[in-house]
Amino acid sequence: MIDHIFYYFASCSILSTLTYGFKLITDHKTKIYKLYALCIPFFAIIMTFENYYHLDTLNTITSFCFYFILYFLIYRRNRKETTYYGIVLWSFGLIIDILAMICSKFIPYLSLLMIRSIYTIFLDIILIFILRNKKLHRWFKSLYKKISRVKFPYFRLILLITILCSLGYALYFSVVEKNIVNSNISLYVLLISVLILIIIYINCEYNNYSLKETNDHLIKSNEFYITIVDDYHILKHNIIHQLNGIKSVSNKKSIQLIEDLIKSYNENNKCSHKMQKLPIGISRIVYEKIYDCNEPNLKLGVDNIIETNVFDHLSPRRYNLLCEALGVLLDNALQATLKTKDKIIMIDMRETENSYRIKIINTFSELLDIDKLGTMKYTTKKSGHGIGLFSIIGRKKVKVKTSIINDLFINEIIINKKLD
């Protein structure tokens, strides 16, 4: 009986150590729900009972679950972080268990369980000192950052497969040692885990399918919208054409009326033709920049003859660079053109066999130092600017050609088609 009392205290000790260890390793500084720590003695009782009835496999699983329940209840951090640090600390607990088991074999005078329990308490104290090490915290944090990039459903899947493998291993040993109670429990747990695995798999597949369906629907809607806009342009063009015909045979008053009518047709479109036909992604950047500046007198022309999907020819990294360059140049063009009387921006997009070429042409009206243009911190805006053009001009993967032809500032972005 005394062995089990020792085991109870050892369980309390390891649960408390690892719960406190969670605080240390995560540098937890927000609110702690200390009251839930009262669960520790209760969980320890369950673990002692499991040990009493030799339910070793179940003990491993329940102890694993208890840690997580405690972390969730006491610290309330996000699931991903709790799972990661939970596994780390559980591994520490496992090491302590193994070490205590090994050490207990060297003292034959006392009962094995009692010695194991004493060692566990002793190793717990040492673990607290180890977990205070700041270098260790940093290392685990950097590892967490890397792991957190993994998509969560797959992370859960990996976790579940790991547990299944461990269970299979435990089941194998239970069968070899002919421990029927343990093997039955392990079998049930294994079955439940397989079921969960299948559910997760179905869930992932369903999510992918619904996402694909949504995307297809959006693309179809977009195409439909483009057709409507095209139809509108044709209709408007034909009406203007017909009005011009009537104008040619009209008297002065009618001409004035028709001209007013034509003017009203032309006033209500902010962007010119083909804006909606820009490649997906690029169009978003252009729209955002243009609508952000909120200038009703801005005259924007877009000519696009890019017909291929940009994402099929550019790697994400190259696409990012293209977006960055486009964003910087559009910002500059907008800033410059808004100071002018004409307020004109023209975006001309085309593709060759090997590259995409985007020309941004804008009017400007200011003093430009040609030799300093494109160098660090040279700007015609307020101080603190002048990084944008400089940062993109030196890039190897994206080339930017700048030219000034009279009152037009022309920037051309050239990016090679490559999926590196």
Partner 1 sequence: MISFVVVEDDTKTQELIKEVLRRTVIKKDKNIKVKYFTKFNKELKNIIEDNSVRKVYIMDIELETKMSGIEIAKLVRKEDWESEIIFITCHDKMFETVHRDVLKVFNFIEKFHDMEKRLEENIELIFQRKFDNKMFKVTNRNVDLQIYYRAITYITRDKEERKIIIHTDKNTFKLNMNLSDVTELLDNRFIQTHRSCITNRQRVHQWNWTKGFYILDSGEKVEYLSKKYKKEVEIND
User: Scanning residues 37 to 56, which ones bind partner 1 (CB under 8 A)?
Assistant: none
In this chain, which of 237, 317, 377, 381 binds partner 1, going by CB under 8 A?
A: 237
Residues 370-399, interacting with partner 1 (CB under 8 A): 370-375, 393
For the chain, what is the largest distance between any 2 Cα atoms, rounded to a whole number of angstroms? 122
Which residues are within 8 A (CB) of 390 and not within 5 positions of it... i.e. 6 or more apart? 374, 375, 376, 377, 378
361 binds partner 1 (CB under 8 A): yes
- The minimum distance between CB 86 and partner 1, in angstroms, equals 55
**Count of residues that bind partner 1 according to CB under 8 A:** 47
Which of 228, 404 has the CB closer to partner 1?
A: 404
133 vs 266 by CB, closer to partner 1: 266
Distance CA 294, CA 338 (A): 11
Interacting span for partner 1 (CB under 8 A) from 145-153, 185-193, 279-287, 361-369: 361-369
Letters for 254-273 (x = contact with partner 1 by CB under 8 A, - = none) are: --------xx-xx--x--xx
Task: Name which position in 340, 355, 379, 416 contacts partner 1 (CB under 8 A).
Answer: 340
Site string for partner 1, 132-171 (x = CB under 8 A): ----------------------------------------
- Using the contact rule CB under 8 A, the part of the chain among 24-32, 53-61, 76-84, 337-345 near partner 1 is 337-345
**Is residue 248 near partner 1 by the rule CB under 8 A?**
yes
| 292 contacts partner 1 (rule: CB under 8 A) | no
Question: How many Å apart are CA 151 and CA 157, to the nearest integer?
Answer: 10
User: Two tokens at 317?
Assistant: 């990294």
Least distance between partner 1 and beta carbon 283 (Å): 18
Asked if 406 touches partner 1 (CB under 8 A), the answer is: yes
Measured CA to CA, the distance from residue 301 to residue 362 in angstroms comes to 10
Determine the Cα–Cα distance for residues 168 and 174; give it in Å rounded to an integer: 10
Which H/E stretch holds residue 317?
A: helix 316-337
SS3 of residue 230 by DSSP? helix
SS3 172: helix
* Listed residue (309, 285, 324, 323) closest to 417, CA to CA: 309
Short-list 327, 331, 330, 317, CA closest to 396: 317
310 token code pair:
């940009």
Contact 400, 322 (CB under 8 A): no
List interacting residues with partner 1 (CB under 8 A).
Answer: 236-237, 240-241, 244-245, 247-248, 262-263, 265-266, 269, 272-273, 299-301, 303, 340, 342, 344, 346, 348, 361, 363-375, 393, 401-408
